[in-house]
Structure 1
Amino acid sequence: MFLERAGFAEISIKGFQRYPLANHLHWLAKGKASGHLKWSQLRTPTLEAAYGEMLAGLNQTDTLIATATAP
């Protein structure tokens, strides 16, 4: 809505997951960030891609990326 009101067109907004499952599990277990560094053994490209895709499908990612045509 903000982009539309600012006059932008061809607006596309997609979710993107920056932090992996290891980080979220660390937050749950320890109440702190940096799980993606401290628990790196829980990281694989396949798991991170699947986790990101699942969260994107649920519209629950930690980042939104908008692209639009300038007015």
Structure 2
Amino acid sequence: MKRAIAINDFDSLAKEAHHIKGASANVGVEGMQYNAQKLEEMSSHQQLEGGIEIVSALETSLSRIQAWLKEI
């Protein structure tokens, strides 16, 4: 996703964001779903300002989930 943002590849960003949005919705991770939806909407409007920060938030969420899974 960071690479897609760096090269203005709106299609790839939209596809990846859509995938993450659906997967996070399936497991009830609403924060990730919301951020992925924002990225998907941004890419459809070809507007990427703040995109890297949203990707970073997704990475943080994923790291927290991975840490939680290791604990159980």
Query: Normalising by structure 2, what TM-score?
Result: 0.28
Higher relative contact order (CA 8 A, sep 6+): 1
Query: Normalising by structure 1, what TM-score?
Result: 0.29
Indicate the structure with greater helix content: 2
Question: Which is greater in Rg?
Answer: 1
